[in-house]
Amino acid sequence: MLTKGGETKTLLISAVLDGEIISGTAIDITDKKKAEDALRVSSEHLRRADIFGQFIRKVAIAANEASNIEEPLHVTIDAVCDLIGWPVGHAYICSRETADELCSMDIWHIDDPKRFDSFRDATMATKFRCGVGLPGQVFAATKPIWVTDVTEDPRFLRAQAAREVGLKSGLFFPVLSNRDVKAVMEFFSTEAVGPDHELLDIFHQAGTQLGRAIERTQTEEKIHHLAFYDTLTGLPNKSFFRDLLRQTILTAGFENRPLAILAIGVEHFKEINNTLGYQNGDIILRLIGSRLSECVRDADIVARIGGDGFAIFMENNDIVVANGIALKITKRFEEPFVIEGVPVDISIRIGISFFPGHGDDADTLIRRAHVAIDTAKQREADFCTYSPEYDKYSQDRLILISELRTAISEDQLFLLYQPKINLKDARLIGAEALVRWQHPKSGIIPPNDFISLAERTGIIKQLTYWVLKEAIRQSRCWTQMGHEVSIAVNISVKNLQTPQFMDQIKGLLSTWGVDPGWLRFEITESIIMQNPELAMETITELTSMGIKFSIDDFGTGYSSLGYLQRFPVDELKIDKSFVMDMMKNENSRKIITTMIELGHSLELKITAEGVENKETLDILSRLGCDAVQGYFISRPISQVDFTGWLEKHSRGDHQYKV
């Protein structure tokens, strides 16, 4: 009942309950309306929150899984257009070279291509420097801009093009990583829509997720470049050269085509460095690189594979062509290099090997090309092709392989253990088992001298089994003494490919009654990349048993965290080359910083290996690294020394240095 011409806003509510009139509860009508409105608003709010939540999740997943920059930007543009129902979306990337220009990524969401194509062309033809146009202003101010009608905004450079296709509102937002703009996104509607601050907030969140993903992929590219290219000459480095050669051997073998491998040694380079200085030495190396590149076809690969060593491989080249190229290079090097106006003579020698004639794996072919350099030296020739009678090394290796078999069966191998320490409290968190060979005549042989040989000949299966047996037995000993030490064992690709591997591990664990939780396997990225499906299957099965996995030598391979996070690994070990370099190399420090940040964002523990001094340890601690391993804490030590140290450690003596 409304009284007084509707002025009073009370309403008497009556209800019939069990035949009786119950009445008298007066409610303010405005309150009811308010309550209804509030309810509507809040359910609208919930609906929006739900939609926004879905949107952010979609962007976060795309950002987390990204292995390139384009993918997550594309997903986000589509998601924004779906969310707000606008027909046009587009992304620019901030140029890394000039750092003040936006380049179109040519990534678009366009609902009606016929209608909007002219606007797309106009966009592609416009340059946006920092501060120029609306995207440029977003770039400069690092804040989003929402314009109700872009065609009326003097800052908008494409007003005419927008008017022609009927675009009205524009939304521009930055993709940020820390305060750096990585990219700018723009969206257009065909109706005039005013700013929605809640949406802007959501886009800000999306932009931050994306920014992190872009930062990560860009860092991965940087790591990649450092890992695969020689920084001085810009040419592929040794490991990349080997990888490329390996891949090419596969196809060449399949298609029955020959390959020529040329190793190029610079003569007396040390003397050049000593007399002309290192800087001039570096200049000469760069010039050598470009001279070599000039002598071959674009498709041939030229690499710097050592301090003063270069190598080339050429597809489909027989001995006649290869000799022709070697002659051409020799002639080209007869011309002196001119350094600061002074002519400098550089002499080189070339060794040549062929696939398949001289071997069918990259390492053998590269090595044999080097044997041929030595032959050339002995014969005082400019170049020479490999010939087995000059190859003493090959014969030594053959002997070593047969000796290694005996070594395993006669227990000439032994393990050293290197502690891994938690950085926060200096407590021991594990030990890496590292194999050594006590050779009856040659003394102790380090693993680098026989592991790759064992891998190539298949003996690695027996070797790893021996190492596992010994490590698990040792784990049992330490557990019995009251010490729980997680032991890490290095695993090779051949192990994962062996069907019996799983049964061997199960057998050893049950024989010794060792908890799989105390075992950790270290694998390199290249192991995963050689056969990702198989790696996934084996790693998943082993982790379900309780065994843990680390990525070893991180930074020397593909370095794709986006990809690696699909595998159930929980630790990244930053390769020692970065760690040992970080005190003198700013770039290494930056890369380590990013590796730690990114690793943590993927919930991986980070261990730095190769920590050789207190300064490195302190920086790593400041950067938030979780664990360290290296000579500063301890060199790999015998089981007896390790036990002694464990006893001391368990009495509460937690020093970094063992």
For ligand C2E, the binding residues (CB under 6 A) are 418, 434-435, 446-448, 451, 464, 467, 490, 492, 522, 552-553, 576, 609-612, 629-631, 636
By CB atoms closer than 10 A (0-12, 13-18, 19+), residue 521 is buried
Query: CB of 87 within 8 A of CB of 110?
Result: yes
User: Quick one: 312 or 431, whose CB is closer to Ca ion?
Assistant: 431
Residues between 472 and 491 that touch Ca ion (CB under 5 A): 490
Query: CB of 373 within 8 A of CB of 384?
Result: yes
Residues present in the chain in total: 658
> Which option in ligand C2E, Ca ion, none does residue 161 bind, with CB closer than 5 to 8 A by kind?
none
Considering the complex, what minimum distance in angstroms separates the CB of residue 432 from ligand C2E? 6
> Which option in Ca ion, ligand C2E, none does residue 388 bind, with CB closer than 5 to 8 A by kind?
none
Query: CB of 339 within 8 A of CB of 280?
Result: yes
The DSSP symbol for 516 reads G
**Of the residues 101, 186, 230, 552, which one makes contact with Ca ion according to CB under 5 A:** 552
Indicate the SS3 state at residue 125. Answer: coil
Considering the complex, what minimum distance in angstroms separates the CB of residue 576 from ligand C2E? 6
Token pair 């509707």 is found at 6
User: Quick one: 72 or 557, whose CB is closer to Ca ion?
Assistant: 557
User: Quick one: 226 or 574, whose CB is closer to ligand C2E?
Assistant: 574
Which tokens is 584 given?
């003198």
> Which option in ligand C2E, Ca ion, none does residue 480 bind, with CB closer than 5 to 8 A by kind?
none
User: Quick one: 391 or 552, whose CB is closer to Ca ion?
Assistant: 552
CA dist., res. 491 & res. 548, Å (int): 12
CA dist., res. 108 & res. 105, Å (int): 8
Query: CB of 292 within 8 A of CB of 232?
Result: no
Give Cβ neighbours of residue 291 (< 8 Å, ≥ 6 apart).
329, 332, 333
Binding mask 120-149 for Ca ion (x = CB under 5 A): ------------------------------
Single out the segment in contact with Ca ion by CB under 5 A; choices: 57-65, 340-348, 551-559, 622-630: 551-559
Q: How many residues bind Ca ion (CB under 5 A)?
A: 4
Query: CB of 86 within 8 A of CB of 150?
Result: no
Considering the complex, what minimum distance in angstroms separates the CB of residue 506 from ligand C2E? 20
User: Quick one: 134 or 445, whose CB is closer to Ca ion?
Assistant: 445
Considering the complex, what minimum distance in angstroms separates the CB of residue 583 from ligand C2E? 13
Considering the complex, what minimum distance in angstroms separates the CB of residue 347 from ligand C2E? 34
Considering the complex, what minimum distance in angstroms separates the CB of residue 217 from Ca ion? 24
> Which option in Ca ion, ligand C2E, none does residue 435 bind, with CB closer than 5 to 8 A by kind?
ligand C2E
Kindly state whether residue 525 participates in binding Ca ion, applying the rule CB under 5 A: no
562 — phi, psi (to 5°)?
Answer: -55, -40
Q: Encode burial over 215-247: b for 16+ CB neighbours within 10 A, e otherwise.
A: bbbbbbebbbebbbbbeebebbbbebbbbbbee
H helix or E strand, kind and range, residue 452:
helix 451-457
> Which option in ligand C2E, Ca ion, none does residue 612 bind, with CB closer than 5 to 8 A by kind?
ligand C2E
User: Quick one: 220 or 575, whose CB is closer to ligand C2E?
Assistant: 575
User: Quick one: 200 or 453, whose CB is closer to ligand C2E?
Assistant: 453
Considering the complex, what minimum distance in angstroms separates the CB of residue 172 from ligand C2E? 48
Give Cβ neighbours of residue 28 (< 8 Å, ≥ 6 apart).
9, 10
User: Quick one: 403 or 553, whose CB is closer to Ca ion?
Assistant: 553
Considering the complex, what minimum distance in angstroms separates the CB of residue 552 from Ca ion? 4
Considering the complex, what minimum distance in angstroms separates the CB of residue 495 from ligand C2E? 8
CA dist., res. 95 & res. 103, Å (int): 6
Query: CB of 484 within 8 A of CB of 427?
Result: no
User: Quick one: 161 or 569, whose CB is closer to Ca ion?
Assistant: 569
Considering the complex, what minimum distance in angstroms separates the CB of residue 446 from ligand C2E? 5
> Which option in ligand C2E, Ca ion, none does residue 630 bind, with CB closer than 5 to 8 A by kind?
ligand C2E
Give Cβ neighbours of residue 67 (< 8 Å, ≥ 6 apart).
217, 560, 562, 563
Helices and strands, counts by H and E, the chain: 23, 24
> Which option in ligand C2E, Ca ion, none does residue 186 bind, with CB closer than 5 to 8 A by kind?
none
The C-alpha angle 618, 619, 622, rounded to 5 degrees, equals 90
> Which option in Ca ion, ligand C2E, none does residue 429 bind, with CB closer than 5 to 8 A by kind?
none
User: Quick one: 94 or 435, whose CB is closer to ligand C2E?
Assistant: 435
Closest to 398 in 3D by CA, of 456, 348, 442, 349:
456
DSSP 11-38: EEEEEEETTEEEEEEEEEHHHHHHHHHH
The DSSP symbol for 152 reads G
> Which option in Ca ion, ligand C2E, none does residue 492 bind, with CB closer than 5 to 8 A by kind?
ligand C2E
CA dist., res. 420 & res. 70, Å (int): 39
Considering the complex, what minimum distance in angstroms separates the CB of residue 556 from Ca ion? 9
> Which option in ligand C2E, Ca ion, none does residue 242 bind, with CB closer than 5 to 8 A by kind?
none
CA dist., res. 187 & res. 201, Å (int): 16
User: Quick one: 368 or 420, whose CB is closer to Ca ion?
Assistant: 420
H helix or E strand, kind and range, residue 523:
strand 519-524
**Of the residues 101, 522, 525, 571, which one makes contact with Ca ion according to CB under 5 A:** 522
> Which option in ligand C2E, Ca ion, none does residue 581 bind, with CB closer than 5 to 8 A by kind?
none
User: Quick one: 181 or 459, whose CB is closer to ligand C2E?
Assistant: 459
Considering the complex, what minimum distance in angstroms separates the CB of residue 525 from Ca ion? 11
16 — phi, psi (to 5°)?
Answer: -100, 120
CA dist., res. 393 & res. 349, Å (int): 20
DSSP 304-316: E-SSSEEEEEEET
> Which option in Ca ion, ligand C2E, none does residue 211 bind, with CB closer than 5 to 8 A by kind?
none
Single out the segment in contact with Ca ion by CB under 5 A; choices: 42-50, 116-124, 390-398, 545-553: 545-553
Residues between 553 and 582 that touch Ca ion (CB under 5 A): 553
- Phi/psi-derived region of residue 166, left when phi > 0, alpha when psi is between -120 and 50, beta in every other case: left
Considering the complex, what minimum distance in angstroms separates the CB of residue 629 from Ca ion? 9
CA dist., res. 400 & res. 409, Å (int): 14
Considering the complex, what minimum distance in angstroms separates the CB of residue 615 from ligand C2E? 13
Q: Specify the amino acid at residue 210.
A: L
User: Quick one: 242 or 576, whose CB is closer to ligand C2E?
Assistant: 576
Considering the complex, what minimum distance in angstroms separates the CB of residue 416 from ligand C2E? 7
- What residue is closest to ligand C2E based on CB? 630
> Which option in Ca ion, ligand C2E, none does residue 610 bind, with CB closer than 5 to 8 A by kind?
ligand C2E
User: Quick one: 312 or 528, whose CB is closer to Ca ion?
Assistant: 528
User: Quick one: 186 or 522, whose CB is closer to Ca ion?
Assistant: 522
Q: Could you tell me whether strands 88-94 and 180-188 are parallel, antiparallel, or unpaired per DSSP bridges?
A: antiparallel
Sites of contact with Ca ion (CB under 5 A): 490, 522, 552-553
